[in-house]
Structure 1
Amino acid sequence: MTLNLQKSDLVYWISGLAVLVFVAWRAWYMAPYQDEISTFFFYVQPGAINPYSAHLDANNHVVNSLLSFWSYRVFDSPEFFFVRLPNVLAFCLLLFYLHRLGSLFESSIKSLWFRLAVICCIYTISFFSLSRGYGLSYAFLAGAMFHLLAMGNRHQTLHLLAGLANISLAAWSNLSQLLLLLVLAGLFLIRSLSDRKRTLPHILFWTVLAGIPLSLAIDYSLLLDEKGLLYLGESSGLFSRCVAPLLNQILPGSVFRFTFFALLLLSTAHIGYQGFHTRKLTHSGLLSLLFWSGLFGMVLSHWLMGTNYPVGRALFHLYLVALFQIFFWIDTISLRLFPIVGAVFVLPFVIQLLTGLNDDFVPMWRETTMSREFVAVIDEGKPEDRLPLVMTSPIMDFSYNHFNFIDQKNYNVAQGAQHSEAADFLILNEWSAPPNPDRYQQLLVSPTTNTALYKRREELQWILHETQSFDSTIVFAEKFHALKPVRTGGHQDTSFRVDVACDIDMQTSDAEIFLVLELRSSSEERLVYLPYELRRIQALSAMHEFEKSFFIEEHSGNGTNIHVYFWSPSGDSAVIRKLRVDFYKSESIKESTRDSAELFESSTRRSRQQRLSNSSVTLSSATG
């Protein structure tokens, strides 16, 4: 089975371009995730580039933060696509390096299967639609592996320089690859020393481009570990808790996973046998050495330093190296069966990609995002005389609240919780139990994520309980500025609504200022704690007209006081004018004044106009 080289390249580039369009399309339409939003506010928006002086967190994928900052500043748009743009462009880099790796194959058809196995894996390409460092690191890792394999040919110094640069960029894009990259850097050093005429300059290049950056990456990792920030992972069960769950997400079907393991072990045994008898290190031999050294280093680090075994996306780089090993080994086998094996291996990826096309979510975070339609429907169906009260399943509130920033509108705040009887709207994923159907009707449901939007059948009637207003200007640079506590009366099963309106002048664009609501008992025990960072729940350009509405539910009857205060953990200052806080209490209910059927039809028309496709969300009319 043969395929002309030019034809195989044509098939690859057409496929790659199609996948690139999908990656960019999803980067544009998909709602931002919690980690992306944190990256934006901690590093991108303030331009906090130096990892040692910026907010210390493993969430800071430094190269991603830097490139996203540049992209955000150049395009000067609140659309999250421009924060994700560096990762979309990194997919182009991956396509280029896969093409160059494919040129090292003897068989054009096997080269094509290898490249398609990478770009048609929906788990792999998902990271290129996100503002995270994983996609960048995979592209740089592919580049480093190409330059390592190509060093035996011409332009050894050029391959050394480019390979080491890719290693350092990969490390600072994703620190979870660090052990593997140290092995890779060592292989570059060993191969570079084979040219004795250039030993000294090669050692100098290695020190500057890899030795220093990797040493700093190790130092930064140790700092994160010292602060207890490297918590992602498992303390035991490398295969059962780490490898198996990852492969379950990547490889569809147990037969497919068994085939992958069989090919990995068979290729390793054959490569070892060949290397022992020929005393030569082939391309597949180098990749096998890299894979098993990286795996051994991870186990050794766990036993000697107590580090957690990486899970999920933090382990994915080893899968890529294993996949490269398998296909480069298949290229050395002349049996007619093996091109067919390659085709069979790629086919499930293609089917999974075509059947999994969506702009709602990425596979590893399926339950923690929402469609833009949900926000549009809530905005359409909100109460006429006040802001809507919205509750989401935990973590999803980050996405909802960021639409205030993206759309430069006031959709109010979503509160993340497991249950509510006071909210006007509920956005619930599979983690949360559905609400009481007598009180809430379903408006939308996404067939891809099963996330559903519910609306309260009858609005709660809110009675004004107390008002606090301050006409004078309040300037604070202290850690706290508290309002007078409001007594609640200590009733069971009571809901309170707190409306806050004021003009705020943030002294800096990255000011870390929170509005906090607490429900406390008579003994000052904190029963409810709701902190909201101001820049996360309202666009800075509209901050001078801050207006939000919150709800607090009290079921025990122990809550006696509601406390509202502004808080800056870093001591940032702000100027507050015309502050008014209204406290409401729910007493009775009234029938909703809006017809749910009209709301449903209106939201459907609006959704179709705003999206390229309406296939990702199914609208179901409310019943009862």
Structure 2
Amino acid sequence: MRNKQALVFSFLGILWILYLGLRAFYVPFTFDESATFFHFVHTGDFWFFTSLPDAGNHFINTLLTYISYSLFGSSKFALRLPNLLSAIVFLYYLFRISLFLNNKSIRWIFILSLMFSHYFIEFLAVSRGYGLSMAFLFGAFYYLMKFSSDFSIKHLLFLSLFLLLALFSNFSILVLSMAIIVYLIILLIFNKKNSVKYGIYRLFVIILLQVLPLAFAAYYMFYLQGKGSLYYGNTDGFWVLTTMSLILFLTGTKMMVFQVAVFVYVLGMLCGTSLLIWREKPTVLLQPKLVFPVLLFSTIIGLLLLTALFSVNNPEDRVAMYLIPLFIGSISMITDTLVVSTGKKWLTLLLIPLLFLPVHFLSVINLHYVNGYITEVIPERFYETIANDNDNQGAYPATIGGYRMRMFCWTYMNFRNGGNQNLIDYKAYPDMQSDYQIVDVDEYPGWLINYDVIATEDIMGRKLLKRKQQIEYELVIKNTINPISEMNKEFYSLANWDADTLKGHSYLVGINMAIHSPEIPFHAWVVMQINDKNGKTLQYKNIPFDWLKTRWYKDGNRFKNSLLTGTLPPETGLIKVYIWNINKGIFTIEEGEIDLSRVKESRLE
């Protein structure tokens, strides 16, 4: 019978992997994926304490993505390949864990509700640490269940390995990791069958391979908190934030029926666990099948304590997604244990509502977006439309306005297409000067006075706008950029313009220079900085070289980009344009020009 189930599972698994593979190939890159690529993968600078301090650096994901990038390049599929391969690990251990369930119907409900929970499994085809963490966690769950029954050192070592990989893929499971360690220690305390030496040996493994990595992770989390980099979530109530966001994450809605269902299931799990303890004894909680509810409630208690005692943010949506398999696993394992204990097979019917998840899967199946990042979607045809527009063939690429959470998605597409377009200017959002806008028109209907809709994104209805009348510019200043050879200073000035006669108008700063560097990538920025008369920064915009191209060769590479200043306020004192050579790498400028052109206000009306 199990062989037949394995065959059915394998068939479903092949189709499932193919679907995730298609998503990895077709779904547009998200903001977080692009940020991970440019901040950590492309530069190769992702090690603890030396790289940019940001919670978005999911270390194992970044490391594996860097390896995949080095081998296969920067395509979406190549960067998502580590997560896609981890889906096989997830499938394998999902099936192995399901075999702990005695009732066949419960087993398949457990499998289908996790395997076809779309908004959960889509992270297995995204270049982030969440999917990797879930895959490794299932390995850890399986070996924890095995260890709780046989105390095998082999199972403990595998558990430690998978828990380490899961934790360093996503530090948000830190409390869950702590719960697993405490559970292991309790198992050893209540193990009366073996000698003290036997237990001490296993305790040493737990301390070395689990407690010490956990302590390092906790220390690093406090380091990030000190840098202001733990920005996701807040201290709102656990139900209001975490539970409600997970309901929305799983179902796409916060309908009351789902809230009631979760509440009833939680109440049912508490009653079911209490019944098992009453019918047997408290040590029933140490049985393999009850690992899930013990970890679920231990983790929730830990999260509540952290918020109450240390004002640590409660997790939400994808950051809390590890609670989903714990929740579904707890319901399934408790129900199965009760069916075996009481002989009442009708209890299986209590799990029928979980089949909503595979039904929901069929309704949202797509190759167009990641639900967790749906508000950031920019179709690649938007890029193609702008790049191929006849009105975008001037001295400098067109200026593009948009919200900051879409900036990296555009930057990745531009990078993949040679880096020949300007980046999205999000710092002046919403503005009326950019040649194109990628926006939600409802946020600022005034756009439609000066812009035409030339394309629409199908999921959220986002618009690509183009100015009805092109902006005209009047050249004010044109400077030659002095040639330099093999410079490695941190800062190099391109222009310094006194703003006394420039105030009250908006300008376009255009830079066109032949620049090359042996650095791969060339980690430097062109910066436009506008200061007041006291030196205080009023505006700061930048264009990173390594966000445009990986290699800046000697022949044929030109930096040709522009930046809008916006209307200069009365207190403006100086406009500075310079190269910030962040890593102090060698670069050469053979020749170039930088100009300042005034925007003709009549075209802004």
TM-score under structure 1 length normalisation? 0.86
Residue 485 (structure 1) aligns with: 497
Tell whether the 8 Å contact from 2:516 to 2:552 is kept in structure 1 after alignment.
Answer: no
1:356 to 358, 364, 386: 364
Tell whether the 8 Å contact from 1:120 to 1:349 is kept in structure 2 after alignment.
Answer: yes
Separation (CA, whole Å) in 2 of partners of 1:449 and 1:157 = 52
Residue 177 (structure 2) aligns with: 181
Tell whether the 8 Å contact from 2:496 to 2:574 is kept in structure 1 after alignment.
Answer: no
2:334 is aligned with 1:329: yes
- Once the two structures are overlaid, the 10-residue window that deviates more, 398-407 or 42-51, is 42-51
Q: Secondary structure at the match of 2:404?
A: coil
Q: Secondary structure at the match of 2:513?
A: strand
Separation (CA, whole Å) in 1 of partners of 2:92 and 2:548 = 40
Q: How does 1:503-542 map to 2 (within 5 A)?
A: 503-506=514-517, 508-521=519-532, 524-541=535-552
Residue 497 (structure 1) aligns with: 508
Tell whether the 8 Å contact from 2:502 to 2:568 is kept in structure 1 after alignment.
Answer: no
Q: Deviations over 1:130-156 (max 9, x none)?
A: 221111111111111111122245582
2:387 is aligned with 1:379: yes
Q: How does 1:215-364 map to 2 (within 5 A)?
A: 215-251=215-251, 252=253, 253-279=255-281, 280-281=284-285, 282-334=287-339, 335-346=344-355, 348-364=356-372
Q: Secondary structure at the match of 1:540?
A: coil
User: Cα–Cα, structure 1 residues 420 and 101, in superposed 2: closer, same or farther, change >3 Å?
Assistant: same
Tell whether the 8 Å contact from 1:148 to 1:159 is kept in structure 2 after alignment.
Answer: yes
Separation (CA, whole Å) in 1 of partners of 2:21 and 2:202 = 39
Separation (CA, whole Å) in 2 of partners of 1:284 and 1:431 = 51
Tell whether the 8 Å contact from 2:522 to 2:552 is kept in structure 1 after alignment.
Answer: no
- Once the two structures are overlaid, the 10-residue window that deviates more, 83-92 or 507-516, is 507-516
Q: Secondary structure at the match of 2:57?
A: coil
2:420 is aligned with 1:407: no
Separation (CA, whole Å) in 2 of partners of 1:509 and 1:385 = 29
Tell whether the 8 Å contact from 1:418 to 1:432 is kept in structure 2 after alignment.
Answer: no
- Alpha-carbon deviation of 1:370? 0.7
- Alpha-carbon deviation of 1:476? 4.4
- Alpha-carbon deviation of 1:521? 4.6
2:430 is aligned with 1:419: yes
Separation (CA, whole Å) in 2 of partners of 1:542 and 1:496 = 30
Separation (CA, whole Å) in 1 of partners of 2:38 and 2:561 = 20
Separation (CA, whole Å) in 2 of partners of 1:392 and 1:175 = 31
Tell whether the 8 Å contact from 1:476 to 1:574 is kept in structure 2 after alignment.
Answer: yes
Separation (CA, whole Å) in 2 of partners of 1:283 and 1:425 = 59
Instruction: Structure 1: state its 5+ residue gaps.
Output: 592-624
Q: Deviations over 1:398-448 (max 9, x none)?
A: 111222222224122221242222222111137842453242111211221
- Once the two structures are overlaid, the 10-residue window that deviates more, 547-556 or 566-575, is 566-575
- Alpha-carbon deviation of 1:71? 1.1
2:151 is aligned with 1:140: no
Q: Secondary structure at the match of 2:260?
A: helix
2:116 is aligned with 1:120: yes
Residue 22 (structure 1) aligns with: 19
- Alpha-carbon deviation of 1:487? 3.9
The residue type paired with residue 257 of structure 1 is Q
Q: Secondary structure at the match of 2:393?
A: coil
Tell whether the 8 Å contact from 1:490 to 1:557 is kept in structure 2 after alignment.
Answer: no
Residue 208 (structure 2) aligns with: 208
Residue 612 (structure 1) aligns with: none
Q: Pairwise CA RMSD of aligned residues?
A: 2.7
1:395 to 373, 385, 405: 405
- Alpha-carbon deviation of 1:80? 2.9
User: Cα–Cα, structure 1 residues 44 and 115, in superposed 2: closer, same or farther, change >3 Å?
Assistant: same
Q: Deviations over 1:7-55 (max 9, x none)?
A: 5444433333333223222222233333222322333223335313333
2:378 is aligned with 1:370: yes
User: Cα–Cα, structure 1 residues 306 and 10, in superposed 2: closer, same or farther, change >3 Å?
Assistant: same
2:588 to 557, 570, 575: 575
Tell whether the 8 Å contact from 1:12 to 1:116 is kept in structure 2 after alignment.
Answer: no
Tell whether the 8 Å contact from 1:428 to 1:434 is kept in structure 2 after alignment.
Answer: no
- Alpha-carbon deviation of 1:359? 3.0
Residue 566 (structure 2) aligns with: 553
The residue type paired with residue 304 of structure 2 is V
Tell whether the 8 Å contact from 1:489 to 1:560 is kept in structure 2 after alignment.
Answer: no
- Alpha-carbon deviation of 1:571? 4.7
Q: Deviations over 1:272-308 (max 9, x none)?
A: 2312431223444332221111111122222333322
Q: Deviations over 1:379-414 (max 9, x none)?
A: 111423232221122221111122222222412222
Separation (CA, whole Å) in 1 of partners of 2:351 and 2:3 = 19
TM-score under structure 2 length normalisation? 0.89
The residue type paired with residue 321 of structure 2 is F
Q: Deviations over 1:84-114 (max 9, x none)?
A: 2111111111111101011111112211111
User: Cα–Cα, structure 1 residues 17 and 285, in superposed 2: closer, same or farther, change >3 Å?
Assistant: same
Separation (CA, whole Å) in 2 of partners of 1:586 and 1:72 = 42
Separation (CA, whole Å) in 1 of partners of 2:42 and 2:327 = 37
1:196 to 170, 194, 197: 194
Tell whether the 8 Å contact from 1:413 to 1:549 is kept in structure 2 after alignment.
Answer: no
Separation (CA, whole Å) in 2 of partners of 1:566 and 1:505 = 13
- Alpha-carbon deviation of 1:522? 5.2
Tell whether the 8 Å contact from 2:35 to 2:408 is kept in structure 1 after alignment.
Answer: no
Separation (CA, whole Å) in 1 of partners of 2:160 and 2:307 = 26
Q: Secondary structure at the match of 1:483?
A: strand
Tell whether the 8 Å contact from 2:244 to 2:259 is kept in structure 1 after alignment.
Answer: no
Q: Deviations over 1:177-233 (max 9, x none)?
A: 111111112323443563625334423332332233222222222322333322322
Total equivalences in the alignment: 585
The residue type paired with residue 116 of structure 1 is L
Separation (CA, whole Å) in 1 of partners of 2:301 and 2:384 = 51
- Alpha-carbon deviation of 1:371? 1.0
User: Cα–Cα, structure 1 residues 62 and 379, in superposed 2: closer, same or farther, change >3 Å?
Assistant: same
Q: Secondary structure at the match of 1:289?
A: helix
User: Cα–Cα, structure 1 residues 109 and 136, in superposed 2: closer, same or farther, change >3 Å?
Assistant: same
2:66 to 65, 69, 74: 69
Q: Secondary structure at the match of 2:361?
A: helix
- Alpha-carbon deviation of 1:588? 6.8
Separation (CA, whole Å) in 1 of partners of 2:380 and 2:226 = 40
The residue type paired with residue 387 of structure 2 is D
Q: Secondary structure at the match of 1:458?
A: coil
1:458 to 459, 469, 474: 469
Q: Deviations over 1:564-593 (max 9, x none)?
A: 1222455555333313112222227789xx
Tell whether the 8 Å contact from 1:51 to 1:60 is kept in structure 2 after alignment.
Answer: no
Q: Secondary structure at the match of 1:500?
A: strand
Q: Secondary structure at the match of 2:336?
A: helix
Tell whether the 8 Å contact from 1:151 to 1:191 is kept in structure 2 after alignment.
Answer: no
Separation (CA, whole Å) in 2 of partners of 1:238 and 1:36 = 27
Separation (CA, whole Å) in 1 of partners of 2:582 and 2:550 = 21
Q: Secondary structure at the match of 1:528?
A: strand
- Once the two structures are overlaid, the 10-residue window that deviates more, 509-518 or 258-267, is 509-518
Tell whether the 8 Å contact from 2:516 to 2:553 is kept in structure 1 after alignment.
Answer: no
Q: Secondary structure at the match of 2:324?
A: helix
Tell whether the 8 Å contact from 1:12 to 1:112 is kept in structure 2 after alignment.
Answer: no
